């Protein structure tokens, strides 16, 4: 059994949507708080299917001091939505569907790159530490870093 799941939740994942699966996983509580602050609970609880690359609490803790707190402020909701939707791909993409050098368009609109080396799957600079966590509306892959969308050239508004 994966160390990220609670004892009784693993067999129930097929009956839980992505948000419920994340809520049942202690190491994803910061992600759940961010999804709530961004107003994305309803979207990620919807029909999907979605593939979510879910950063652990430690991944959020590794952000520069004050970054997470700033992103959770209502004034920064648009940036938080942009970052979180960069972790989501439409459709259900299982680990076996990934290939080295593959690019995938995120819900945010930018691409992420997938690399596979020595059995380790990376999404941009993040490493997948738990793959193929089933949910009723998609799949969750737990990653060890928060991935940031590329800076937009016209971001000086």
Mean confidence (pLDDT) of the chain: 89
Q: Tell me the CA distances in angstroms from 85 to 9, 12, 79, 80, one per residue in order.
A: 25, 25, 10, 8
Please write the tens of the pLDDT for every residue from 50-107. 999 999 999 999 999 999 999 999 999 999 999 999 999 999 999 999 999 999 999 9
Is-contact 149 108, C-beta < 8 A? yes
Taken in order of first residue, the domains within the chain and their CATH numbers are: 11-143 (2.30.180.10)
The secondary structure of residue 26, as a DSSP letter, is G
pLDDT at 156 over 50: no
Residue from 47, 63, 152 nearest 110 by CA: 152
- Per the listing, tokens 């202690």 go with 26
* 104: enclosing H helix or E strand: strand 103-105
């Amino acid at each position: 059994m994966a160390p990220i799941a609670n004892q009784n939740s693993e067999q129930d994942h097929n009956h839980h949507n992505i948000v419920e699966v994340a809520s049942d996983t202690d190491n994803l509580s910061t992600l759940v708080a961010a999804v709530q602050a961004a107003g994305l609970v309803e979207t990620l609880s919807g029909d999907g299917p979605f593939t979510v690359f879910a950063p652990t609490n430690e991944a959020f803790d590794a952000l520069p001091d004050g970054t997470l707190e700033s992103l959770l402020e209502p004034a920064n909701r648009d940036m938080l939505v942009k970052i979180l939707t960069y972790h989501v791909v439409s459709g259900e993409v299982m680990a076996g569907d990934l290939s080295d050098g593959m690019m995938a368009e995120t819900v945010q609109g930018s691409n992420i790159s997938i690399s596979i080396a020595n059995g380790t799957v990376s999404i941009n600079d993040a490493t997948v530490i738990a793959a193929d966590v089933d949910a009723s509306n998609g799949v969750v892959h737990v990653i060890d870093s928060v991935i940031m969308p590329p800076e937009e050239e016209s971001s000086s508004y």
